[in-house]
Amino acid sequence: MQAAGEAAPVFATAAPRFDAKWLIIAACVVLTLYLGMVPLAFLLWQSFFTPQSAAKAAVFTFGNYREAYGSADTWLLFGNSLRFATGAAALSFAIGTLLAWMNERTNTPFKGLFFALSVIPLIIPGILFTVAWILLGSPKIGIINLALQRLFDTDAVFINVYSLGGMVWVDGLHYSPVAFLLMTAAFRAMDPALEESAIMSGASVLQVVRRVTLPLAWPAVFATLLILFVRAIESFEVPALLGLPVGLQVFTSAIYQAVHRYPSQIGLAAAYAVTLLAMTSVGVYLQSRLSSSGSKYATMTGKGFRPRTIDLGPWRYLTMAVFLAYFLFIVVLPFMVLLWSSLQKFYAVPSMEALSRLTLDPYRTIIAYPNLLRAVWNSLLLAVASATIIMLVTAVICWIVVKTRLPGRWLLDNFASLPMVFPGIVLGLAIMILYLTIPAGIYGTIWIMLIAYVTRFMPYGLRYNTTSMLQIHKELEESAAMSGASWTTTFWRIILPLLKPGLVAGWIYIVIVSIRELSSSILLYSPGTEVVSIVIWELWENGQYVELSALGVMLILALFVLVLAAQWLGRQFGIREL
Amino acid sequence: MLRALALLFFSVAAAAANRDVYLYQGADREARLIAGAKQEGQVVLYSTMTVQDGRALAAAFEKKYGVKLLHWRGSAEKIVQRALAEAKSSHDGADVFETSSHRMEALYREMLLEDFYTPAFAELSPAAFPKGHRQYVAARFAFFVLGYNTRLVKPAELPASYEDLLHPRWAGRLAIESTDVLWFAALVKAMGEEKGLAFFRRLAAMKPQIRSGHILGAQLVASGEIPLFVDAYNNNMETLKKAGAPVDWKPLAPAYGQASAIGVAKHSRRPHAALLFTEFLLSREGQEFFKRVNRVPASLAVDTPLNKFPHEIIDPAIALDEGEKWDRLWSQLFLGGKPVEREE
């Protein structure tokens, strides 16, 4: 507390009496630590025990670590995971950043339209996106291969999704919106004066990007790469559907197999997950070093600024072409595949024969699906509530981490970040067992899912806020305090509005991923608290792919409207000209 | 501590009372069961059956007895995990479980099930019963058969035996599901371990595509991605065939199947309703329903084209007692477990 006072001495003098500030800060810190610690403690504790069954009680052991790390298999899987995650993160980053830069920093025509379109890949459930790419890029039935083969009259295989390259491509594309959203927030809050000076001094657009824009956005770049990499490491669908058929297994397969044995080897899965925890901790620690390098990256100062765009001249048609290419190949193609299969009785390669079988039955089945409306309502409720809670709480946490000199604050950051790598099922189990044991009455209700969602997505909220927070210069809150504003007022009236780019981007992201969340929902839901992702999983398990495609199409359209609305609302309540 | 003891006492007492309900065979059995179930009002089912099937069954059950059915749908291992966690804290969870028989065997070993009796047993296939107890019985089956695309596989080339799968014409045209370790174990045991393993080694050398998911596999057969799916589920293939897809299926001898079994919870708070629903599902009415949704009923009284061939049901104990051995062999054969050692 003393250290916090030192960092912002103005507050200490301005608020000698009781201040709501401490209450808010304490509440946020306690909540974060509680949410982060519970699964962490469970995971570490479990990793030292043998599986429990009626016949054999659990005993203390180091065997899980021996089994997890003593075998060469693990390291081979780990190598595969690293290559896959590095590739996927790099691809997502490149695509997302390019789009964000074009959208925020250039005068590309029609770019306003593209924001909402850019997040579509994220909206498509992972399973569907992957299957859509199988149907596009399989060597045997892939539409792209079939079309090119007909065009060039050859049997050659042009693209093959069943390869490491294919996995990187599909996963990288799917998560490029994460980079897009994060980098959009970063670019939006960046003072263009520096870029303008560079242009005035005769630098080319490329030079400006390389020497000014990206270095200034370095904390955001780092946060984005961290989040993309860690997420790709724990990715499951793409490796299972594209890697397995050709024998490419990754680390998460080992975790999955451990959990699915009987008795369930939660301890072994936990021992595997410890590596992921360690890697994330290193990443978070490095990022905290960036954060503490002071106001180097803060371009949002007391001087008014308007993030103006760079005039690309005739090049803007090139960037528009890039946008169009992105939409055709990344958004429209998979969407068309979904639309096509949603109109079929079973999936068939497009042909005249299949065309004669078009039907709206899948849509009828979906609309009549038991509990669908309730599931949609629950999902919306959970998504909006968890996104809002997370963004507000992590804004406070991130203020502590970035703006104060509190010792050990990076640990706070770390605790809040670790849930990112808990295998979803371990997180679900930890929460389930905790609330079955303590009679809080929330087991079996929607609240337990809210807790799971907030825990699971807190790390993302934190990253989104951190990138924006780093760009806000301290002088802004100092002047507010000088003018007599309390901390609470400053936070509400100055910090939050300035954080808006990160807040909105993070909010949108969390809403979307909450609607897709499956691995903990599937353990924690009860009759009455079904969510949309469960329905998706159901349809997948039942093999109702055409119905699933129909739901996918409806979901994409609905979320698309939601994103547009959020963007519009953001404009209504945001700072003008930002 | 006192509370824990009290809880323990009540659950032991309740379990003993439940056993009486589950095994009662007096003349007034049916009347007592229905009256008790009506009083309990509802029954909670944890099952892998689809939500749509669950909904249809609930409607039929409620219409007949006025007892509500709440269906929680989860995958087999999630059902076990949830049941275990809930049992540990004496949470009022499932009254009835219905899922793959080897997961039911796990619930049985965890002592969460109880012996039960129903007159419907009389019509079930002998393969439906586990050895030595009646804590779960099969309600439906799924058989492993060849699934094939009728445009890509000519009738003449269709394999007549497992050996035929090793014909060079199938190199690169086969697919195998990535998790069918039990099918593999049962088949190897049937062929004699040495001969069986030799067969699978040669099968692996044919470089089959390894696919995760039976239904996805079946769909990929329909779309032409997979010409011949070695371990397809016949009900999946049949469903697609009925929808007009260019697919068909054929059992090879010996044909193996997996059972989905049903059992009542030892500590159920609603034992009458639990048994009544179990009986309903195993009775003619429930079994006819399975037939309607293209499942293979366990009852021999219900006629279906899906079991008209000699078949055996895989012993669920293999999964639990020899699971690791077969997992390892399977992984070495099909999942690239072996190359790991070669690289060192």
Taking CB atoms and an 8 Å limit, are B91 and A541 in contact across chains?
Answer: no
* B212 in contact with chain A, both atoms CB, cutoff 8 A: yes
Closest CA to A523 of A465, A436, A401, A440: A436
| Tens-place pLDDT, residues B261-295 | 999 999 999 999 999 999 999 999 999 999 998 89
pLDDT on residue B25? 94
Check CB contact of A541 with chain B, cutoff 8 Å: yes
Residue A230 pLDDT class (50, 70, 90 cuts):
confident
| pLDDT value of residue B344 | 23
Tell how far CA A521 is from the center of its chain.
17
- Is A545 near chain B, with CB under 8 Å? yes
Tell me the domain boundaries of chain A.
2-6+22-44+72-293+311-351+365-573
- Which of chain A's residues have a Cβ under 8 Å away from the Cβ of B340? 72-73, 76
Whether the predicted pLDDT of A426 surpasses 70: yes
Over the range A105-125, which residues count as b (16 or more CB within 10 Å of their CB) and which as e?
Answer: bbebeebeebbbbbbbbbbbb
With bands split at pLDDT 50, 70 and 90, how would you rate the model's confidence at A295? low
- Residue A309: DSSP 8-state: P
Nearest Cα of chain B lies from the Cα of A444 at a distance, in angstroms, of 10
DSSP 8-state symbol, B99: E
Count CA within 13 A, CB hemisphere, residue A547.
19
Which tokens in the block code for residue A530? 């079904």
List chain A residues with CB under 8 Å of B174: none
Q: Do A436 and B211 touch (CB under 8 A)?
A: no
Judge contact between B286 and B230, C-beta under 8 A. Answer: no
Flag whether residue B8 sits within 8 Å of chain A, measured between CB atoms.
no
Mean pLDDT of chain A: 82
Question: In this predicted model, what pLDDT tens digit does every residue of A444-456 receive, in sequence order?
Answer: 899 999 999 999 9
Cα distance between residue B277 and residue B44, in whole Å: 10
Does the structure show a pLDDT above 70 at A292? no
pLDDT above 80: residue B231? yes
pLDDT band at B2 (very low <50, low <70, confident <90, very high): low
pTM for the model stands at: 0.83
Q: Is the pLDDT of residue A47 over 70?
A: yes
Q: Region B29-47: what's the mean pLDDT? A: 96
Q: Which amino acid is at B327?
A: D
Mutation for A interface: B45, B48, B49, B51, most A CBs within 10 A: B51
Mean pLDDT of B13-32: 90
Nearest to A543 among B218, B324, B337 (CB): B218
Instruction: Give the per-residue pLDDT at A385.
Output: 97
Cβ count near A69 (within 10 Å): 14
Tally of CB atoms within 10 A around A473: 18
Predicted local distance difference test score (pLDDT) of residue B272? 97
pLDDT of A557 > 80? The answer is yes
Query: For all residues of chain B together, what is the average pLDDT?
Result: 90
In tens, the pLDDT along A362-395 reads: 999 888 888 888 999 999 999 999 999 999 999 9
Residue B3's pLDDT band, with cuts at 50, 70 and 90, is: low
Q: How far is CA B86 from CA B108, B113, B159, in A?
A: 15, 14, 48
Q: What number is the average pLDDT over the span A295-302?
A: 64
Q: Say what the pLDDT of residue A10 is.
A: 42
Distance between alpha carbon A28 and the CA centroid of its chain, in Å?
22
Specify the higher pLDDT residue, A495 or A86. Answer: A86
Looking at the predicted structure, is the pLDDT value of residue A235 above 50? yes
**CB-CB: which of A55, A244, A345 is closest to B244?**
A345
Helix or strand holding residue B144 (H, E) = strand B137-149
**In the structure, what pLDDT confidence band is assigned to residue A111 with cuts at 50, 70 and 90?**
confident
Mean of the pLDDT values across residues A93-104?
Answer: 90
B155 touches chain A (CB under 8 A): no
Residue of A nearest to B86 (CA): A436
Report chain A residues whose CB lies below 8 A from the CB of B83.
none
- The ipTM, to two decimals, is 0.78
B241 vs A: CB within 8 A: no
Give residue A438's pLDDT band: very low, low, confident or very high (50, 70, 90).
confident
Please determine, for residue A216, whether its predicted confidence score (pLDDT) is greater than 70.
yes
Mutate to test the interface with A, among B89, B105, B330, B332 (most CBs of A within 10 A): B89
A85-89, A214-218, A223-227 — most confident range:
A85-89
Higher pLDDT, A156 or B250: B250
C-alpha A327/C-alpha A125 separation (Å) is 18
From the centroid of its chain, how far is CA B284?
19
Question: pLDDT (tens digit, 9 = 90+) per residue, A325-348?
Answer: 888 877 788 888 889 888 988 777
Beta strand segments in A11-134, E:
none
SS3 A244: helix
Query: Which of A341, A351, A542, A545 has the highest number of chain B CBs within 10 A, making it the mutation to test binding with B?
Result: A542
Q: Which of residues 63-102 of A touch B (CB under 8 A)?
A: 72-73, 76
Nearest CB partner across the interface for B72, out of A131, A346, A527 = A527
Q: How far is B276 from chain A (nearest CA, A)?
A: 20
Q: Give the pLDDT confidence score for residue B279 in this predicted structure.
A: 97
Q: What domains can be seen in chain B, in order of their start residue?
A: 2-141+258-307 (3.40.190.10), 144-257+318-342 (3.40.190.10)
SS3 (DSSP) at A347: coil
Q: What is the pLDDT of residue A308?
A: 67
Q: What percent of chain B has pLDDT over 90?
A: 67
Q: What is the CATH number of domain A2-6+22-44+72-293+311-351+365-573?
A: 1.10.3720.10
Band the pLDDT of B8: cuts 50, 70, 90: low
Query: What pLDDT, on the 0 to 100 scale, is given for residue A305?
Result: 60
Q: To probe the interface with B, which of A52, A146, A164, A244 has the most B CB atoms within 10 Å?
A: A244
Residue A411 structure tokens:
């640990």
